[in-house]
Amino acid sequence: MAKIRIGLGSDFALNNGRLGLGVSDPQVRLEVDGTTKSNDLVVTGVTSLTAYEGFLRADHQIDQDTILNVGQGLNASLSGEIIVKDGTTVTVGAVGLGTTEVGIGTDNSVGVGTTTNQKGTTTIDSNAVNLAGGSEIECLKVFNTFTPPSGGTNERPYAPKPGELYYNYDFKTIEFFDGNGWRQVDNTTRSGRGFVMGGFTPIGPAVYNNIDFYNIMTRGNSQDFRVLTESRQKSDSCARETRAINTGTGAYNNTIDYITMASQSDGIDFGDLSTANRAYLGALASSTRGVFGGGFQHPSPSSSVDVIDYIEIGTLGNALDFGNLSAAKNSVGAVSSPTRGVFSGGSSPGITEYITIASKGNATTDALPYDSGTTTGASNSVKAIFETDKGIFSLNISSLGNQEYFGDLTSTREDASCASSPTRICFAGGLTPAPAAVNTIDYVTIASSGDAIDFGDISYAGVDGMTYGGGCSDSHGGLGGF
């Protein structure tokens, strides 16, 4: 028989009593046996319920001493997990293991046959601190949304731990720290498709407006994609995950074309370069920007330029001023990581220099490459590969330094159209010493040095071959990923 009956709408007051729900002899003020659920319940302090549903307040403040017996038994206050709902913030600060007296025994009774208090004390003393990041939480459940730390590239955590997540506003992507550097988690949007755009054959001669594509991770001949807005040679290309750009031409105009790489369609006018009558430039890109460095202007004045300009690839419009190279030059090899653009080789002086893609400014010079002449290249997010008529050379993009000999193409040539995936780089066509051109596509594996291997042929080049075309891909190093 219940001792207290409460009717619907009645006031309830328990004066110095104990309330038990599901128990016959409650030992505390409120004792509940079984699963308890509630909506909008205000909890003061920390409960000792092992099943914890609907009790956690947003921004709950605990302003009293609380002891948590964390474990798997009935005394556990948490079941080894933290559940965070939308609008709820849980903040755990440093937990210090301070000095605590521990009593041996349970009371102050006098020992039998003695007059000495048998209760003794000892001390646990430690300066160790257990931070939330080092705790042993078995799982973290998030409902609706989870937001990692975020900010710009220059605001990344100062001393990150391997596996730490960060949302980068500059690149608009999640990054993780792998123990050596930040890598972008955005690789799911890429297919590994390489492109060859335009070009020139000395036999004839002939200038092409063709666009071809191929799968970098397989082998075989390239396939017809569509055509550029005009026949174009001495151009270069760059790309983000979905859109490819081609600009610069032996006809010496300043037109920029773009294509959508997933759908076969003709090139569409994007805008114009910041300087007119320009060819032989180097193009690189991040997930957002395309950057064009150097080039040769014609007919008047007929000379190399030191101009660097850029576009936002996801929009349309004319290129804007970025800065300047260390000297006027053309035939520059251009590659990128997610943060850094590198221009190498070119007409004299043939040096390696770099920019930070997210911020405008002049290029910074670094080490001398092995070759100071015509250079083209491609990269993954770590290593750049450049081809010249003297062979293939590699460069670590983050540390720079002198380039190292990598291997040779299947035939001696320069001015190939380069495209890359995270693991491979392909070299399409190129100018041989005759002068003549080849239609061969070669490839190398970035992680291991060695000579290039035959991949296939450029379908539109025919037996006369092709050079001075623009190469790019949807999975190059400027897009990050892994």
User: Is 316 part of a structural domain of the chain?
Assistant: yes
> What is the three-class DSSP state of 189?
helix
Task: Verify that 272 and 217 share a domain, yes or no.
Answer: yes
pLDDT at site 72: 45
**Strands 139-142, 81-84: pairing kind:** parallel
| % of the chain beyond a pLDDT of 90 | 45
User: Is 104 part of a structural domain of the chain?
Assistant: no
CATH of the domain at 217: 2.120.10.80
Residues whose CB falls within 8 Å of the CB of residue 411, separated by 6 or more in sequence, listed in order: 430, 432, 438, 440
pLDDT at residue 188 is higher than 80: no
pLDDT at residue 429 is higher than 90: yes
Task: Verify that 240 and 286 share a domain, yes or no.
Answer: yes
User: Quick one: tokens of 360?
Assistant: 């405008």
What is the rounded distance in angstroms from the CA atom of residue 173 to the CA atom of residue 110? 69
pLDDT at site 62: 53
Task: Verify that 181 and 239 share a domain, yes or no.
Answer: no
- Report the Cα 215 to chain-centroid distance in Å: 22
Residues whose CB falls within 8 Å of the CB of residue 448, separated by 6 or more in sequence, listed in order: none
pLDDT at site 472: 97
What is the rounded distance in angstroms from the CA atom of residue 242 to the CA atom of residue 123? 65
| % of the chain beyond a pLDDT of 70 | 70
* Mean pLDDT (whole number) for 264-287: 93
Task: Verify that 234 and 127 share a domain, yes or no.
Answer: no
Q: For the whole model, what pTM was predicted? A: 0.65
* Mean pLDDT (whole number) for 14-33: 77
- In 216-352, which ranges are E strands? 223-227, 236-239, 243-247, 255-260, 268-272, 278-279, 282-285, 289-293, 296-297, 303-312, 320-329, 333-336, 340-344
- Tell me the pLDDT of the chain averaged across its residues: 80
* Mean pLDDT (whole number) for 414-431: 96
pLDDT at site 61: 54
Across 41-45, 140-144, 168-172, 213-217, the highest mean pLDDT is recorded for 213-217
Task: Verify that 79 and 162 share a domain, yes or no.
Answer: no
What range does the domain containing 236 cover?
Answer: 188-479
What is the rounded distance in angstroms from the CA atom of residue 342 to the CA atom of residue 344? 6
pLDDT at site 145: 81
pLDDT at site 378: 97
pLDDT at residue 369 is higher than 60: no
* Mean pLDDT (whole number) for 374-380: 92
Task: Verify that 306 and 158 share a domain, yes or no.
Answer: no
pLDDT at residue 122 is higher than 50: no
Position with higher pLDDT, 254 vs 60: 254
pLDDT at site 183: 73
Position with higher pLDDT, 247 vs 104: 247
User: Is 109 part of a structural domain of the chain?
Assistant: no
User: Is 24 part of a structural domain of the chain?
Assistant: yes
pLDDT tens across 70-118, in order?
444 444 444 445 555 555 555 555 444 444 444 444 444 444 454 444 5
Q: Tell me the H-state helices in 43-189.
A: none
Structure confidence at residue 426 as a pLDDT band (50, 70, 90): very high
At 137, the amino acid letter reads I
User: Quick one: tokens of 296?
Assistant: 């040769």
Structure confidence at residue 372 as a pLDDT band (50, 70, 90): low
User: Is 107 part of a structural domain of the chain?
Assistant: no
pLDDT tens across 339-349, in order?
999 999 887 66
Task: Verify that 380 and 407 share a domain, yes or no.
Answer: yes
pLDDT at site 349: 65
Task: Verify that 213 and 337 share a domain, yes or no.
Answer: yes
**Strands 436-437, 417-420: pairing kind:** unpaired
User: Is 98 part of a structural domain of the chain?
Assistant: no
Listed residues 163, 185, 207: the one ending a domain = 185
pLDDT at site 87: 53
pLDDT tens across 211-221, in order?
999 999 999 99
Q: Report how many domains make up the chain.
A: 3
Task: Verify that 273 and 401 share a domain, yes or no.
Answer: yes
pLDDT tens across 299-346, in order?
766 789 999 999 999 899 999 999 999 999 999 999 999 899 999 988
What is the rounded distance in angstroms from the CA atom of residue 471 to the CA atom of residue 377? 9
pLDDT at residue 413 is higher than 90: yes
Measured CA distances, 146 to 86, 104, 189 (Å): 8, 46, 22
Lowest-pLDDT choice from 32-41, 291-300, 301-310, 349-358? 32-41
User: Is 97 part of a structural domain of the chain?
Assistant: no
Task: Verify that 172 and 291 share a domain, yes or no.
Answer: no
User: Is 128 part of a structural domain of the chain?
Assistant: yes
Across 39-53, 162-176, 184-198, the highest mean pLDDT is recorded for 162-176
Task: Verify that 193 and 179 share a domain, yes or no.
Answer: no
pLDDT at site 44: 57
Task: Verify that 251 and 271 share a domain, yes or no.
Answer: yes
pLDDT at site 203: 87
How many CB atoms lie under 10 A from the CB of residue 47? Answer: 15
Cα Rg, the chain, nearest whole Å: 34
* Mean pLDDT (whole number) for 381-387: 93
Helix (H) or strand (E) holding 183: strand 182-184
